Chain A
Amino acid sequence: MRASTVMLGALILAFGLAADAGPASAQDDTADTLQVPIVYLGEQVAEPLPLSLVEPVPTDKGLAGARLGIEDNATTGRFLKHDYTLVERILPEGADLRAVAAELSAAGQTLIVADLAADRLLALADLPDMANAVILNIRAQDDALRASDCRANVFHVIPSRAMKADALGQFLVSRQWMRWVLIHGINPPDQAFAEAIRRTAKRYRAEIVEERAYGFQAGSRRSDTGEQQVREQMIKLTQRLPDYDVLVAADESEVFGEYLPYRTWDPRPVVGTQGLVPTSWHRSQEQWGGTQLQRRFTRAFNRWMLERDYAAWEAVRSIGEAVTRTNSADSVTLRNYIVSDAFELAAFKGKPLSFRKWDQQLRQPILLASPLMLVSVSPQEGFLHQRTPLDSLGHDEPDSTCRLNP
């Protein structure tokens, strides 16, 4: 360790300064400090485990990103007398949302990062106590939430399935890989992703030459001596297909998708929920200053930042950005600012992010990543849009049934 005593001295000096950093940061002066409580609302529900044992299973997925977002907000808030706190509420499965909403509303805690499934998110949003809340969805990718089920008090930070499918589709089409085979699982989320892929294929005039469903339910992640069996199953699953360029897996349930690469009958790349995946964040993303966010995250939580962590970070930072610019913690004021043209979030994607007015979906570039590398970023070159190329991803205003903030 080089010059360690010097460093130690400098650190002591630094903490001295931090405690007494002049009028701009006055921390003790609570009288005119703006309190900004942000609620992280999750529910203890079982999630599909990654098929690969190599992939760790964090228990704080999402929450860790929110915690980092609060740290970042707090550093800024120190200079503006804005005091951010994260109220962590992880509910037991099936908890009474009405009681929770009443409690939050009574406590003036109506800025909510929602780590909830679609049905629970909607149930929460429709409670009268939540009428003026700002609920930021970091989990549910369902397209219906951005269409027939859209709500004025719900903002979608996590990309929709349609956005992801379009991001992938643009990449495939730009490579001239136009003939797709779609293999989907049998659970509703798998079906929903498959539906998004069908919509994308139609949009970009790609051809789904054949679809197959895979219904096997694996019991255990461990497959000691099971490799042979898995390989045989995948070969069988992909035999006798018409000529195709790429195999699209729709397996959000993590049942078989990870088994597909290299085990297909024909030598074809695998994309979709496994293989080359569309995602709003990836551990290999170091473009546009992304390295900084990755480093802050891994240092604090000792693991990679996952997509839901990133969504939670974006959600907390969106509130922080609105509070910074409006000097208010009032949910209605913040809501109006977030949907205004003035709002922009810098989130290590090389361009400002903002919410679509009609369905309150965060518009953002989507990464395409292989397990260890960033491969590309959509929108792809040439996919234009009169507003911003970002709106070439997902449901655009004319084809959306949602009309918020007209």
Chain B
Amino acid sequence: MKEVMALGFISALACAIGASTAGANTAYVSNEKGNTISVVDLEKMETVATVPVGERPRGITLSKDGKLLYICTSDADHIEVLDLETLKVVQVLPSGPDPELFVLSQDGTRLYIANEDNNFVTVLDLAQGVISAEIPVGVEPEGMAISPDDKIMINTSETTNMAHFVDTSTLEITDNVLVDSRPRYAEFTPDGKELWVSAEIGGTVSVIDVATRKIMEKVEFAIQGVRADTIQPVGVKITPDGKTAFVALGPANRVAVVDVASREVQDYLLVGQRVWQLAFTPDARLLVSTNGESNDVSVIDVENRKVLRSIPVGELPWGVAIR
């Protein structure tokens, strides 16, 4: 098994060397129930390939060079590495049990992995392909974020209801900030000064001041004609200019547009059913949302705040990454 993996890794490197030039944007979508990754061409606006992977793929992220896709295959209890040229799984990495979501360090050398099942964040050294540490956190770790300077790693724990601040040099928790119920996702503003944490059951997004580790404000949502208890914030993405935040609202079937400076909700965009995760194209022109219940993704024009298209993908789309 080890030999096969090592071979896979070498072939991954070989493929990575022969990477293609940048063309149209491609979105990769993990389908939790389908056990596949959908490859979506954002120019043609259609799914162009469906790649079978391990059981229950959820969190996904691109390598820094954009040539590999790391996949949390939760029920397979490991990370799979998909080569985006060949669309083949070229490496299997250890992750600890039930990896749900992870974040890549800014220098691209480490994956910090939330192990939903055992209350740990696993640190994976990508060069060695081995686990270098495990950090005990709260119950049901999920949301993961890394500060722009690579110094602070954030984990949110869904049942403990905290954002844990971890010093990436010592790998120890330095602070715990209590937020509302069931925190699912954490996102730094591009300047690293604020941390936005969504609370699915609490229905809010807490804006935490990174310097003082205090909640400065909570963003709340209200949509006419939509029951309050269906407004369940999950994915959060902030534009590279730091001005606008997009928040996926779960079974409310909408993505909220929030002005970062004023915390004001400016718009609600109707997307597919049970929207969870979001990703921008590298130029932040488009935003893609995964709509779990309707088995599609919505493509949003960021500047005009318009939903352009919905594109069918696999069963129960969960995560999305775009290159």
A and B associate in one complex: yes
Residues of chain A lying within 8 A (CB to CB) of residue B134: 10-11, 13-14, 17
The answer for the CA separation of A24 and B182 in the assembled complex, in Å, is: 20
Q: Would you call B160 and A75 a contact (CB within 8 A)?
A: yes
Q: Would you call A79 and B140 a contact (CB within 8 A)?
A: no
The size class of the interface chain A forms with chain B is 35 or more
Task: Tell me the minimal C-beta distance from B249 to chain A in angstroms.
Answer: 13
Residues of chain A lying within 8 A (CB to CB) of residue B190: none
The answer for the CA separation of A351 and B1 in the assembled complex, in Å, is: 43
Q: Would you call B139 and A76 a contact (CB within 8 A)?
A: yes
Given known contacts A3-B2, A22-B173, A75 and B119 CB-to-CB distance under 8 angstroms:
yes
Q: Does A352 contact B (CB under 8 A)?
A: yes
Task: Tell me the minimal C-beta distance from A338 to chain B in angstroms.
Answer: 14
Q: Would you call A352 and B181 a contact (CB within 8 A)?
A: yes
Given known contacts A13-B134, A14-B133, A346-B158, A80 and B176 CB-to-CB distance under 8 angstroms:
yes
Interchain CB contact (< 8 A) of A76 among B120, B159, B201: B159
Task: Tell me the minimal C-beta distance from A196 to chain B in angstroms.
Answer: 25
The answer for the CA separation of A110 and B37 in the assembled complex, in Å, is: 53
The size class of the interface chain B forms with chain A is 35 or more
Residues of chain B lying within 8 A (CB to CB) of residue A80: 176, 178
Given known contacts A6-B130, A13-B133, A24-B173, A75 and B158 CB-to-CB distance under 8 angstroms:
no
Interface string of B90-128 (1 = CB under 8 A from A): 001010101000000000000000001101101000000
Interchain CB contact (< 8 A) of A7 among B94, B138, B181, B201: B94
Q: Would you call B133 and A10 a contact (CB within 8 A)?
A: yes
Q: Does B207 contact A (CB under 8 A)?
A: no
Task: Tell me the minimal C-beta distance from A142 to chain B in angstroms.
Answer: 28
Residues of chain A lying within 8 A (CB to CB) of residue B130: 3, 6, 10
Task: Tell me the minimal C-beta distance from A298 to chain B in angstroms.
Answer: 11
Chain A residue with minimal CB distance to B170?
A: A22
Task: Tell me the minimal C-beta distance from B252 to chain A in angstroms.
Answer: 12
Residues of chain A lying within 8 A (CB to CB) of residue B11: none
Interface string of B227-238 (1 = CB under 8 A from A): 101101000000
Residues of chain A lying within 8 A (CB to CB) of residue B138: 75-76, 79
Q: Would you call B173 and A25 a contact (CB within 8 A)?
A: yes
Q: Does A21 contact B (CB under 8 A)?
A: yes
Chain B residue with minimal CB distance to A75?
A: B139
Q: Would you call B202 and A17 a contact (CB within 8 A)?
A: no
Q: Does B66 contact A (CB under 8 A)?
A: no
The answer for the CA separation of A80 and B173 in the assembled complex, in Å, is: 13
Chain B residue with minimal CB distance to A351?
A: B229
Task: Tell me the minimal C-beta distance from B75 to chain A in angstroms.
Answer: 9
Q: Would you call A292 and B116 a contact (CB within 8 A)?
A: yes
Residues of chain A lying within 8 A (CB to CB) of residue B170: 22
Interchain CB contact (< 8 A) of B202 among A13, A76, A352: A352
Q: Does A324 contact B (CB under 8 A)?
A: yes
Residues of chain B lying within 8 A (CB to CB) of residue A72: 139, 159-160
Residues of chain A lying within 8 A (CB to CB) of residue B229: 351-352, 388-389
Query: 15 more A-B contacts (CB under 8 A) besides A14-B135, A17-B172, A317-B159?
Result: A2-B94, A7-B131, A14-B134, A14-B136, A22-B174, A24-B173, A75-B160, A76-B159, A80-B176, A80-B178, A289-B140, A296-B117, A346-B182, A346-B200, A351-B229
> Residues of A at under 8 Å CB distance from B?
2-3, 6-7, 9-11, 13-14, 17-18, 21-25, 72, 75-76, 79-80, 289, 292, 295-296, 317, 324-325, 344-346, 350-352, 388-389
Q: What are the 10 A-B residue pairs with the smallest beta carbon separation, nearest first?
A: A14-B134, A76-B160, A10-B131, A346-B181, A346-B201, A79-B176, A22-B172, A351-B229, A346-B182, A6-B130
